[in-house]
């Protein structure tokens, strides 16, 4: 009986006929924290043989599966859809599953640490509850009045395009945890919550836009944004986050709350 070898063990050393892909050694420097043993974080270094087409997530898997099983981090789909594996790689917020080693300077140690502004639970895992609390407060769902419709709520392509960009959010927290205001003010809603509010504020089918704008017209709402563009640069989906925040500000001013 034949068996299929697991994907993680398949030899991917060839690139379709042009010969072997060269391997090289990298140093992965990971910020470790385990409150059961110490309140102080430390850096551990691992020397790994990898390929340029490997991702940072592959390097982390190699450490966990072959060197140190105690390493903890989140990941799920591994295709940039779930947003689980957001972390700081070489000082920038990125998704580990979308960051190729060939795009990094492998002549130096590759640093990996948890995203900032959220409590670290263990190693690269942070407590996402404060992030999701802000997300829930802006009511991230369609709100309409009256009875259930007897037919589809139609929307023109032009109306759909109005908020198309902000529908791309995968809630990875890369934008929010790249914001200097969020680092210093844990009460700030943060870019991701505002982006998801934008998605419904400008949805022609929704009838609770004013409610969301009133929520965000707060000292910890959109007015805390300092327009540093960190959030836009950090977004792995390419959302124009700063632009969306600006449009929400303009909508508040237009309604004269």
Give tens-digit pLDDT for 16-72: 555 677 999 999 999 999 999 999 999 999 999 999 999 999 999 999 999 999 999
Which neighbouring-strand residues pair with 112? 30, 89
**233 and 194 inside one domain:** yes
| pLDDT score, position 11 | 42
Can you say how many angstroms the Cα of residue 61 is from the centroid of all Cα atoms in its chain? 19
Residue 3, domain member (yes or no)? no
**133 and 102 inside one domain:** no
**25 and 118 inside one domain:** yes
Number of domains in the chain: 2
CATH number at residue 66: 3.10.20.30
**122 and 177 inside one domain:** no
Q: Are 86 and 172 in contact (CB under 8 A)?
A: yes
Residue 77, domain member (yes or no)? yes
**122 and 133 inside one domain:** no
Residue 28, domain member (yes or no)? yes
**49 and 119 inside one domain:** yes
**90 and 120 inside one domain:** yes
**140 and 111 inside one domain:** no
Residue 56, domain member (yes or no)? yes
| pLDDT score, position 19 | 60
Predicted structure pTM score: 0.87
| pLDDT score, position 256 | 63
- Vertex 238: Cα angle to 234 and 244 (nearest 5): 90
Calculate the alpha carbon distances from 234 to 35, 77, 173 in Å.
29, 20, 9
| pLDDT score, position 244 | 98
Residue 240, domain member (yes or no)? yes
Domain of 198, in residue numbers: 129-147+154-255
Q: Are 252 and 217 in contact (CB under 8 A)?
A: yes
Confidence of residue 6 (pLDDT cuts 50, 70, 90): very low
- Say if residue 8's pLDDT is above 70: no
Q: Which of 235, 228, 150 is nearest to 188 (CA)?
A: 228
**63 and 80 inside one domain:** yes
Calculate the alpha carbon distances from 51 to 17, 153, 171 in Å.
17, 50, 29
Q: Helix or strand or coil: residue 186? A: coil
Whose structure tokens read 């072959």? 66
Q: Which of 203, 76, 183, 94 is nearest to 138 (CA)?
A: 203
CATH number at residue 168: 1.10.1060.10
Residue 254 CB partners (closer than 8 Å, separation 6+): none
- Say if residue 173's pLDDT is above 90: yes
**185 and 232 inside one domain:** yes
Whose structure tokens read 């965000």? 216
Residue range 165-190: mean pLDDT, rounded: 95
Confidence of residue 214 (pLDDT cuts 50, 70, 90): very high
Residue 173, domain member (yes or no)? yes
Can you say how many angstroms the Cα of residue 50 is from the centroid of all Cα atoms in its chain? 25
**114 and 197 inside one domain:** no
**46 and 98 inside one domain:** yes
- Vertex 34: Cα angle to 32 and 40 (nearest 5): 75
Residue with more model confidence, 20 or 184: 184
């Amino acid at each position: 009986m034949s068996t299929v070898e697991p994907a993680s063990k398949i030899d991917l050393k060839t690139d379709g006929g042009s010969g072997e892909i060269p391997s090289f050694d990298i140093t992965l420097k990971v910020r470790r924290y385990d409150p059961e043993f110490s309140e102080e974080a430390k850096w551990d270094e691992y020397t790994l043989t990898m390929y340029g087409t490997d991702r940072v997530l592959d390097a982390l898997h190699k450490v966990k599966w072959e060197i140190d099983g105690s390493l903890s981090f989140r990941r799920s789909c591994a295709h940039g859809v779930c947003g689980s594996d957001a972390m700081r790689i070489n000082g920038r917020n990125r998704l580990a599953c979308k960051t190729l080693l060939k795009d990094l300077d492998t002549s130096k140690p590759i640093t990996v640490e948890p995203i900032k502004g959220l409590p670290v639970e263990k190693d690269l895992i942070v407590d996402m509850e404060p992030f999701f609390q802000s997300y829930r407060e802006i009511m991230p769902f369609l709100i309409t009045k009256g009875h259930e419709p007897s037919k589809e709520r139609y929307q023109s392509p032009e109306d759909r395009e109005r908020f198309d960009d902000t529908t791309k959010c995968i809630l990875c927290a890369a934008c929010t945890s790249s914001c200097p205001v969020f680092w210093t003010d844990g009460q700030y809603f943060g870019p991701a919550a505002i982006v998801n509010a934008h998605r419904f504020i400008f949805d022609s089918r929704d009838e609770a836009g004013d409610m969301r704008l009133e929520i965000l017209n707060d000292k910890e709402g959109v007015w805390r944004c300092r327009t540093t563009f960190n959030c836009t640069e950090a977004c792995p989906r390419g959302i124009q986050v700063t632009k969306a925040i600006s449009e929400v500000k303009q909508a508040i001013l237009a309604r004269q709350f």
